């Protein structure tokens, strides 16, 4: 999230000039780049890819499916892709069943768990529906579990930084995180106690409050994946420079705050692969294809990643799985060769 509140604010500033503002935004969207501008960075499985590794599928926004030996794990699955105007105007929003079903057709029929980084609608709104379809359990902050239950989830497990969960082949470590600010504030960030006072189901974008942001360290197949949804310099990922390298770092990159911490985050995680996340225009339906969001700055991400020359920068397209290659020699910390 984040962009939405930006536009809410813009719209309130612009007031009666709303139609021309929208026109401006729509024309900017038309000019936005897709993945076609970076073909050398986009990775995907081919027929010769190994079948026994950890497979990563990008679902758009900050959504992922990880698969290993017949098990699946989801993070922030969001398929409804509510349009900008509904968010900006504070209209009622709800999960789009058809889009959710279209998205789920690409995924495993059953999932072990859904991890949620925070409560914003573009991370949590579809989760009750996805739980019902995949029989996955929910692992999220207390306020996100509360929101999900009010939106129809039958269960949910509240976790906090420091907690560890072992589910199937997955070892999941819950880490502290922060959320990007916009104009100095985390969007939709009412304290949970205040939001709880209004106990009905969440109806508008602002009802899906951020709550306590989380990051996750997922260990599977002897490999380690770090994932967050963005963040600030106030809370960096764990320092891994003294230990084995992270195999994959999925870092939210929607707004300037998360870009400002990119170099420091990479220095700590020392990932073999870095996958910038949450940088597509999530107000467009998934069927319209990947396009960078108007507030993301991928050339900046590219420059900063290039300076951390031991990490290979990659991009994933929607629903095109990629298997995380095994480290050449995980113990020796050999820098990863810049090829597949």
Which range, of 50-58, 73-81, 91-99, 120-128, touches Zn ion by CB under 5 A? 120-128
Give the count of residues interacting with Zn ion (CB under 5 A): 2
Tell me how far apart the alpha carbons of residues 339 and 145 are, in angstroms, rounded to a whole number.
41
Which range, of 64-72, 96-104, 116-124, 130-138, touches Zn ion by CB under 5 A? 116-124
Q: How far is the CB of 252 from Zn ion (least distance, A)?
A: 8
Based on CB atoms, which residue is closest to Zn ion, 1 or 75?
Answer: 1
Tell me how far apart the alpha carbons of residues 213 and 206 are, in angstroms, rounded to a whole number.
16
Backbone angles phi, psi at 121, to 5 degrees: -60, -30
Q: How far is the CB of 59 from Zn ion (least distance, A)?
A: 16
Q: How far is the CB of 278 from Zn ion (least distance, A)?
A: 8
Query: What residues from 251 to 280 belong to the interface with Zn ion (CB under 5 A)?
Result: none
Q: How far is the CB of 258 from Zn ion (least distance, A)?
A: 11
Q: How far is the CB of 209 from Zn ion (least distance, A)?
A: 10
Which range, of 64-72, 112-120, 158-166, 232-240, touches Zn ion by CB under 5 A? 112-120
Which range, of 11-19, 56-64, 113-121, 257-265, touches Zn ion by CB under 5 A? 113-121
Based on CB atoms, which residue is closest to Zn ion, 43 or 174?
Answer: 174
Based on CB atoms, which residue is closest to Zn ion, 208 or 273?
Answer: 208
Based on CB atoms, which residue is closest to Zn ion, 117 or 291?
Answer: 117
Secondary structure of the chain as H, E, C letters = CCHHHHHHHHHHHHHHHHHHHHHHHHHHHHHCCEHHHCCCCECCCCCCCCCCCEEEEEEECCEEEEEECCEEEEECCCCCCCCHHHHHCCCECCCCHHHHHHHHCCCCCCCCEEECCCCCHHHHCCHHHHHHHHCCEEEECHHHHHHHHHCCCCCCEECCCCCEEEECCEEEEEEECCCCCECCECCCCCCHHHHHHCCCCCCEHHHCCCCCCEEEEEEECCEEEEECCCCCCCCCCCCCCCCCCCCEEEEECCCHHHHHCHHHHHHHHCCCEEEEECCECCCCCHHHCCEECCCCCHHHHHHHHHHCCCCEECECCECCCEEECCCCCCCCCCCCCCCC
Residue reference for tokens 């020359």: 309
Q: Is residue 1 close enough to count as binding Zn ion by CB under 5 A?
A: yes
Which range, of 98-106, 115-123, 164-172, 233-241, touches Zn ion by CB under 5 A? 115-123
Based on CB atoms, which residue is closest to Zn ion, 6 or 318?
Answer: 6
Q: Is residue 8 close enough to count as binding Zn ion by CB under 5 A?
A: no
Q: How far is the CB of 208 from Zn ion (least distance, A)?
A: 9
Nearest-CB residue for Zn ion: 1
Which range, of 16-24, 51-59, 117-125, 272-280, touches Zn ion by CB under 5 A? 117-125
Tell me how far apart the alpha carbons of residues 121 and 126 are, in angstroms, rounded to a whole number.
8
Q: How far is the CB of 2 from Zn ion (least distance, A)?
A: 6
Q: Is residue 5 close enough to count as binding Zn ion by CB under 5 A?
A: no
Selected binder of Zn ion within 3, 81, 99, 120 (CB under 5 A): 120
| Footprint of Zn ion (CB under 5 A) | 1, 120
């Amino acid at each position: 999230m984040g962009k939405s509140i930006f536009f809410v604010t813009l719209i309130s500033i612009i007031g009666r000039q709303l139609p021309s503002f929208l026109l401006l935004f729509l024309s900017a969207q038309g000019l936005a780049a897709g993945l076609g501008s970076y073909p050398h960075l986009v990775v995907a499985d081919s027929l010769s890819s190994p079948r026994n590794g950890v497979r990563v599928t990008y679902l758009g926004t900050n959504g992922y499916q990880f698969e290993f030996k017949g098990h699946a794990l989801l993070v922030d699955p969001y398929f409804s892709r509510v349009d900008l105007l509904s968010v900006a105007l504070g209209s009622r929003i709800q999960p789009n069943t058809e889009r959710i079903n279209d998205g789920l057709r690409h995924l495993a029929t059953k999932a072990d768990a859904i991890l949620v980084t925070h409560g914003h609608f573009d991370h949590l709104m579809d989760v009750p529906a996805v739980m019902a379809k995949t029989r996955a359990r929910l692992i999220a902050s207390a306020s996100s579990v509360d929101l999900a239950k009010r939106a129809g989830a039958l269960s949910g497990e509240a976790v906090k930084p420091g907690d560890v969960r072992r589910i199937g082949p997955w070892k999941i470590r819950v880490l502290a995180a922060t959320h990007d600010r916009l104009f100095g504030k985390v969007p939709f960030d009412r304290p949970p106690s205040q939001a709880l006072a209004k106990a009905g189901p969440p109806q508008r974008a602002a009802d899906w409050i951020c709550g306590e942001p989380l990051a996750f360290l997922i260990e599977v197949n002897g490999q380690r994946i770090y994932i967050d949804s963005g963040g600030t310099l106030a809370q960096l990922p764990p320092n891994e420079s003294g230990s084995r390298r992270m195999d994959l770092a999925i870092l939210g990159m929607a707004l300037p705050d998360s870009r400002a911490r990119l170099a420091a985050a990479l220095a700590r995680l020392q990932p073999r692969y870095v996958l910038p996340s949450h940088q597509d225009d999530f107000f467009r339906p998934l069927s319209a294809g990947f396009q960078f969001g108007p507030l993301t700055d991928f050339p900046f991400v590219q420059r900063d990643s290039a300076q951390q020359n031991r990490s290979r920068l990659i991009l994933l397209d929607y629903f095109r799985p990629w298997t995380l290659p095994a480290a050449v020699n995980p113990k020796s910390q050999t820098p990863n060769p810049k090829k597949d």
